[in-house]
Amino acid sequence: MSKIIKKSLLAPKSFPKLPNILGVNLYAMHAGIRKKNKLDTMLILISNSVNVACVVTNSKTPSAPVMWCKKIRNIGKARALLVNSGNANAHTGKEGIETVKNTVNAISKLFNFSKKEIYVCSTGVIGEKLDSKIITDAILKLDIKKNNSWKEIAESICTTDTFAKGAVSYFQYGGKKYKIIGIAKGSGMIYPNMGTMLSFIFTDFPLEKRLLTDLFKQSIEVSFNSITVDGDTSTSDTCILFSVPKKNNVKLVSNKNDKSVQKFTKALDKVSINLAKQIVADGEGAKKIISIKIKSAKTYKDAKTIALSIANSPLVKTAVAGEDPNWGRIIMAIGKSPVNIKQDLLSIKICGEKITKNGSLVKNYNEKVVATKMKSKEISIVVDLGIGNMEAAVWTCDLTHDYISINADYRS
């Protein structure tokens, strides 16, 4: 079987219209890491040194670019972002670190930027050497005056993704209109252990760097850290949020209680949740999106732990693929999580239909009704624990034959 590259059934109809952000310049290239003329590298240059928040994978085997980002992120300033696809530059030893150094040095020299303001990400195959020269050569050939589109930028970072992912939201405050624009990539090796996969978000809202990081972490918790495709965590996950004010000398918002912050947070969550759900919609082999909500838990953490236990269960995911209301598997997945619950208070709904109540099946349960509703592309699972007042939501996709084909068969 050849590698499946057809567009996910769950893809949005088209890439959204994303406006420019003043001072953010986009360049997409074919450096030659990937075959044919596929875009495989992107560079974003920012006119001024701006505040940045960067959150990376918790992996104990991080890639060389992740190690670099961890080193510079405390400074919290950015002028450039370089990303390549097709090679993760992970588990490449000292040579991998050299590659990052060489590209950073080249960009620093060429544009006269401080090295510590140049962010680098790589995504793709683990363990292969990445040649810095083909990337720096491609950058040297760039016509800096010609900007690429957000769509091309989003395409250049795709690997097994079947569609490019972008999102935008707007908000108004104090008579001014602000925007938040994000792109993301991800399809496999998706499990939230930070902000999963790659996502880069830009806003023209002016935020002080510490608050920027705090707000970004909060948003990641309910978006990129609330999705899973396969329970596997990439070595390369990186999320970066850039605050690029329209004017250079604008007053930065630094107080989390400032009235504008709530508006910003809401708009940011909208973009990050939108991108996170697009990643799930492009989950390898996905035919259905599953949203899982745990209600009436003692703590948010408890709710989320149980939600992820259900979301990561291959038996739940295959039941959804088979449009099978096999709710016993949900009971199993709740039970295998480390959270203490009261089995007698549990109730479960699938696609809005109540199935269990007080620890066993409801009396008038009609399996056929639920099975019919499960033919939908979006499946909701709601579990009420009945022991508190906290809740959490996560998203995943079903586990299908195409997942096996994509990950086992394609070399044969």
Which of 53, 56, 90, 379 touches a copy of itself by CB under 8 A? 90
Burial status of residue 118 (CB atoms within 10 A of its CB: 0-12, 13-18, 19 or more): buried
Q: Which is nearer to a copy of itself, 141 or 368 (CB)?
A: 368
Sheet containing strand 227-228, strands side by side: 227-228, 390-397, 289-297, 378-384, 347-350, 353-357, 360-361
Name the 3-class secondary structure at 384: strand
Q: What angle do CA 207, 157, 213 make, to 5 degrees?
A: 20
Q: Which residues pair with 380 in a beta bridge?
A: 291
Does residue 196 carry a catalytic annotation? yes
Residue with tokens 């999963």: 196
Q: Which is nearer to a copy of itself, 65 or 245 (CB)?
A: 65
Q: How many residues bind a copy of itself (CB under 8 A)?
A: 71
Q: Which is nearer to a copy of itself, 220 or 316 (CB)?
A: 316
Sign of the alpha-carbon dihedral angle for 253, 254, 259, 264: positive
Q: Which is nearer to a copy of itself, 380 or 407 (CB)?
A: 407
Per-residue contact track with a copy of itself, 155 to 194, x per CB under 8 A? ---------------------------------xx-x-x-
For position 310 contacting a copy of itself by CB under 8 A, the verdict is no
Smallest separation, CB 10 to a copy of itself (Å)? 17
Distance CA 219, CA 273 (A): 8
Residues 241-300 that bind a copy of itself (CB under 8 A): none
Task: Select which of 41, 196, 233, 238 is catalytic.
Answer: 196
Which of 41, 162, 199, 235 touches a copy of itself by CB under 8 A? 235
Smallest separation, CB 158 to a copy of itself (Å)? 18
The stretch near a copy of itself (CB under 8 A) out of 110-118, 135-143, 230-238, 260-268 is 230-238
Distance CA 399, CA 401 (A): 7
Q: Which is nearer to a copy of itself, 270 or 288 (CB)?
A: 288
- 8-state DSSP, 92: -
Residues 6+ apart with CB under 8 A from 71: none
Which of 136, 337, 347, 396 touches a copy of itself by CB under 8 A? 337
| Count of Cβ atoms closer than 10 Å to residue 298 Cβ | 15
Residues with catalytic roles: 196
